[in-house]
Amino acid sequence: MNLFWAALSKELREQWRTYRLLVTVIVLSLFGLLSPLLAYFTPQILGAIPGGEALGELIPPPTVVDAIGQYIKNLSQFAILFAILLPMGSVSGEKERGTAALVLSKPLPRGAFLMAKAAAFGLVFALSLLISGLAGYYYTGLLFEFLPFDRWVAMNGLLWLYTMVYAGLTLLFSTISRSQAVAAGLSFAVLLGLSVIGISKTVAVYLPAQLVTWSATLFIQPETAYWGSLAVSTGMLVAALLAAWLIFRRQEL
């Protein structure tokens, strides 16, 4: 266990030194803060554009639902982008540079090596969504109304799991390949493939993207739940990490 904490500390220091942690926190926090502002001021911005007065008048007055929708749309899109970009070279890059063989020559189990990386990404996204969530909650309350805080926390928790599914898949593909581009390409392919499969409403309720829908309905229809999507998403994350470990433990570096 001490080896795991040492590996996790190393991963977090690396995330900090390479500015990945800082960039992720800043970008997601900015969108968390700006989302309610954009929802509130969009009609005024359009009205201030020369010739846009009529268009501004056609837009109905913004509501708290618009702020929630803007927040979820922005955070889900950019969090997924970071979930693919951050882990894509986490294993393949180390194998290519030879640092993986150097680190694992010490008494560090390969499972701890991989789980430390997954935990580091989980903490990076948790911190980013915590700060963006607090900023979004405050400005949504300031401009519209203060929402039930427990539902706001649950909404960001669902977004975190949605993000971690693709972070886990990218970590798996980074383990399989020796190319960062291949790892990112495979993750985008899975994202696209699940989007196509999600056209079927019968199947869509079990896919990770349904977590985003669930996060939005927490404030509109709190009685609606998509436990199937939660179970499948959790299973995909666990399966991706387990597969990465099973493959990595047999690889020659």
* pLDDT band (50, 70, 90) for residue 249: confident
Whole-number pLDDT of residue 113: 87
d(C-alpha 234, C-alpha 210), whole Å: 13
Contact 30/39 with Cβ under 8 angstroms?
Answer: no
**CB-based burial label for 10 (10 Å; 0-12, 13-18, 19+):** middle
pTM: 0.92
Whole-number pLDDT of residue 122: 96
Rounded-to-5 percentages of helix, strand, coil across the chain: 80, 0, 20
d(C-alpha 78, C-alpha 71), whole Å: 11
Whole-number pLDDT of residue 25: 95
Angle at 27 between CA 25 and CA 33, to 5 degrees: 95
Whole-Å CA distances, 55 to 51, 52, 69, 75 = 8, 5, 21, 27
Whole-number pLDDT of residue 42: 75
Contact 131/184 with Cβ under 8 angstroms?
Answer: no
Tens of pLDDT along 20-51? Answer: 999 999 999 999 999 999 888 876 766 666 65
If one counts every other C-beta atom within 10 angstroms of the C-beta of residue 160, the result is 21
Tens of pLDDT along 191-204? Answer: 999 999 999 989 99
Whole-number pLDDT of residue 253: 64
